[in-house]
Structure 1
């Protein structure tokens, strides 16, 4: 149940009645009418600007329209008061019974409460992580992985048809470097003393890959030419690194629906297809770029290239897509990849990138706009994560040597803590991750505070069952829940469906983490009322009916918390 959708339906019914009566014109367009919580809660529960929006259409003064609407709205059974303010704003106060019904809805719906049809089944491609397959995931990938996964979950809950995708960069020079690095470790596995030249990957994780290759091939490549071993090391080394990456992501609770290989763009001719589309539309030409602004590189020379008219679509300059030697640029492959997404039916595309890729956004948006009139791309940048231990920076990995791996973080604090904390800041804001603080059992640690609320409800329910036997929460008398704190909790839960829709529309899953913390905080405050007033305790051994109604409220809170945690990819804990 979305209260704002429900109020809109009631408003439309009232307008239809007034139209039938001749008090207002029929068929007024209400799509621009805002139905919001008032900025000042003392003004009521719902604020409507309908009278102001409809004034021009109706050719009436806003105050006159507001008066007509107020009279009809106040007659609704679930409305306790309606006030007209200022030039024609309408403030509504809803009756306690309206809020109490939320408890029944949550108990009936379970964690599906808040599911929305906003997305209407629209296909959305969310591409995230897409790290080069040259080693294990590092902490810099964690935030993008969690953000992308939570965003995909959120969009799914909001009614979109979501595909989670990983783009494997397996066609670039970095794969040749990986192959040579693996081959050196392969020789090392056979007992040869090696030195890792500058420019190759030195990580000890490659020893595991080399051991696997030695078990597969024995000493077959020890005396082989580079032409023989390079293709094998390139292919199998990449596969082994992707196995490692999949394993790391699984530890974080991240699973993709599609792993798309860049190599297939080259082998399938998809790059040429995408360029042909742009050429047919007149956006490809042969030309010479101006030298870079500022200090000109010593090796820069004017040469004719195949260029895309990116500047025509908002980019800073036109962009090369084919070099003078005929090779396609990385940008050409990226264009082809997004063209492939588009012809797979994804008009709506979301990419999650690291903050260092910000300069690439304009050209990619330009390409989408040029080749797909109804396509859209939203790029979300994730800022860096700084690791601390008791306030001191963490600088070195035992396994990778030069960076902290994703697995090291997850192994130390757990998947759920890692995921929740990564979503306690907006994606484009820096985030500090202190190992000690994220495991702290206090109100200052949001993941603990939210999980504790869920576990506390389970503990209370066990206590209630011990006192009164099995509880039929669906049959509880929620009409007895009239305390200010109880009504407040109901109002917060009623906001959950709208939170799902607004966070999904904004592509901001961190809003869910904030919402859950606020709801958990309100529940803990409600529970603590019983410390000073025993009559307000949730479990009363001498009063089964009050216990039943309060446990229905508590269980509905836990259900909404669980619903939100599932969006974040966090498992609700049963006990702590």
Structure 2
């Protein structure tokens, strides 16, 4: 039960009854939401201000008419006009009790919706070069992308998680050369790793595997052939390592797309360029030097250019380098055309902080290759600074000069890693304090939320201990006399539960899973606050042996809070323990 969606429908129906000439497109702008100041009521709507001008009326005049319609509603205790034409509602306790009943009835499905209507969406995230283990710089994007995919699926989208394997180019040759050094090391040679190569111990097993399979035969081959063999072995091993690292955070992709499939004779890049030419989206021309480059530093030549500015980009983009090879952007266009041809009209790319300049060019590419049918949202994840007790933290580095994803998970666990990385907007830089996320205090957000779920479970154990004759089964909870929940504390907590469906929908539309983390943290705080009030006021205790009926109703409330916290943590990929050690 989405109380905001319910009243939006009722407000629109009232407008249609009074003004049948209003069009659906206009009425779609009507919003019912919590008022900025809770003292103004439970709900507020902009309806009168949306329709007043097209009707040629004063907003307060329209609002007054709506107020008259709702004054007689049995579940509305008061309704009034505020400011230039806002309408504020105060609801009867009975409607909040209906919300609580809905949570109990829908359980793990409370807050789910068909917002996405089964439409397919491709969420591409991580996509790190397969040249080593996942490092901390990749971790935030990995967690964000996975949580966003879960959020979209929760709201009715058909979601595919995709990883783009950048398995071509110079860095893969260097990987092969680095693996060859480890191969020589495995054969007993003393090696020295030159600058620019990959120094991490993670290539040692690759070298040993090559030595085991090939003996010394790679040394007798032409160097470039041996390097290609070593490259293939290293790439396969690195992808296994990447998948294992991601699995530590319970992240699993449905699709691993190899960049190599875009290259070669008849590959998607050439096919895409031919198509772009046929569509008039490519021309031969010259580009101005980029900002900061002098004409002497810039190769002024005629080249193959994509008309990116026709699709919202700041400049047209080169597709072929001076040596005849394709640019990275040519591969990007072909890759996103491939996504579109696979049936994805909604795409989300999660990129690191150093890719902010890619946003407009990717949007232009998708608009062009789909002829405006598809859309893409490029989400940038800003940097994470590692701290301990507020000071920069240098961890032991097992992989060259990198702090790995595995290092972070080993230090604080998967739950803390995921929640803390989601407890801030993705486009804001953040500090990750290892000391804080290990504390069992309210200052540690993940502990605070998990403790609320554990506390809710503990309340049920207390009821079973102190009131063994009380039936607290799901059937009994469903039949609790919820009308007994009439205190301000009861209604405040239920009101927050009622905001869950709207929170999920808003987070889905905005592609912002941090809203879920914020919500469950607020809900946890409300439960902890209620529990604290019960220490001073016996009538607010969750378990009161002298009032079995009230206790059962309160347990229904606690169970609903427990369920919604579990739902929210599930979207975030964080566990909801019943006890904390």
Q: TM-score, normalised by structure 1?
A: 0.95
Partner Cα separation in structure 1 for residue 122 and residue 39 of structure 2: 43
User: Which position in structure 1 is the counterpart of 2:445?
Assistant: 446
Please state how far the C-alpha of 1:25 moved relative to its aligned partner.
3.6
User: Which position in structure 2 is the counterpart of 1:574?
Assistant: 578
Which sits farther off after the overlay, 88-97 or 437-446?
Answer: 88-97
Is the contact between residue 351 and residue 377 of structure 1 (CA under 8 Å) also seen in structure 2? yes
Q: Deviations over 1:409-460 (max 9, x none)?
A: 0011100000000011111111111111111111111100000000001111
Q: Which residue of the other structure, out of 256, 271, 274, is the alignment partner of 1:273?
A: 271
User: Which position in structure 2 is the counterpart of 1:3?
Assistant: 3
Partner Cα separation in structure 2 for residue 53 and residue 311 of structure 1: 35
Count of residue pairs brought into register by the alignment:
571
Please state how far the C-alpha of 1:369 moved relative to its aligned partner.
2.2
Partner Cα separation in structure 1 for residue 417 and residue 47 of structure 2: 44
Please state how far the C-alpha of 1:331 moved relative to its aligned partner.
1.1
Partner Cα separation in structure 2 for residue 550 and residue 573 of structure 1: 21
The answer to whether structure 1 residue 179 and structure 2 residue 176 are counterparts is: yes
1:405-554 matched pairs, under 5 angstroms = 405-466=404-465, 467-468=467-468, 469-471=470-472, 472-554=476-558
The answer to whether structure 1 residue 328 and structure 2 residue 326 are counterparts is: yes
Partner Cα separation in structure 1 for residue 486 and residue 500 of structure 2: 20
Q: Which residue of the other structure, out of 312, 315, 339, is the alignment partner of 1:314?
A: 312
Kindly report the root-mean-square deviation, in angstroms, between the aligned alpha carbons of the 2 structures.
1.8
Q: Label 1:55 to 1:315 Cα distance change in 2 as closer, same or farther (>3 A).
A: closer
Is the contact between residue 308 and residue 365 of structure 2 (CA under 8 Å) also seen in structure 1? yes
1:360-371 matched pairs, under 5 angstroms = 360-371=358-369
Uncovered stretches (5+) of structure 1, i.e. residues with no partner: none
Q: Label 1:398 to 1:301 Cα distance change in 2 as closer, same or farther (>3 A).
A: closer
Is the contact between residue 353 and residue 381 of structure 2 (CA under 8 Å) also seen in structure 1? yes
Please state how far the C-alpha of 1:28 moved relative to its aligned partner.
5.2
Is the contact between residue 8 and residue 31 of structure 2 (CA under 8 Å) also seen in structure 1? no
Partner Cα separation in structure 2 for residue 173 and residue 297 of structure 1: 27
User: Which position in structure 1 is the counterpart of 2:227?
Assistant: 230
Uncovered stretches (5+) of structure 2, i.e. residues with no partner: none
Which sits farther off after the overlay, 456-465 or 392-401?
Answer: 392-401
Partner Cα separation in structure 2 for residue 293 and residue 524 of structure 1: 55
Is the contact between residue 485 and residue 491 of structure 2 (CA under 8 Å) also seen in structure 1? yes
The answer to whether structure 1 residue 194 and structure 2 residue 194 are counterparts is: no
Q: Label 1:179 to 1:526 Cα distance change in 2 as closer, same or farther (>3 A).
A: same
Q: Deviations over 1:86-135 (max 9, x none)?
A: 44332111101101111111111112111122212221111110000000
Q: Deviations over 1:496-555 (max 9, x none)?
A: 111011111111111111111111101100011121123321112233212111111011
Partner Cα separation in structure 2 for residue 88 and residue 198 of structure 1: 68
Partner Cα separation in structure 2 for residue 27 and residue 303 of structure 1: 58
Q: TM-score, normalised by structure 2?
A: 0.94
Please state how far the C-alpha of 1:292 moved relative to its aligned partner.
3.5
Is the contact between residue 397 and residue 403 of structure 1 (CA under 8 Å) also seen in structure 2? no
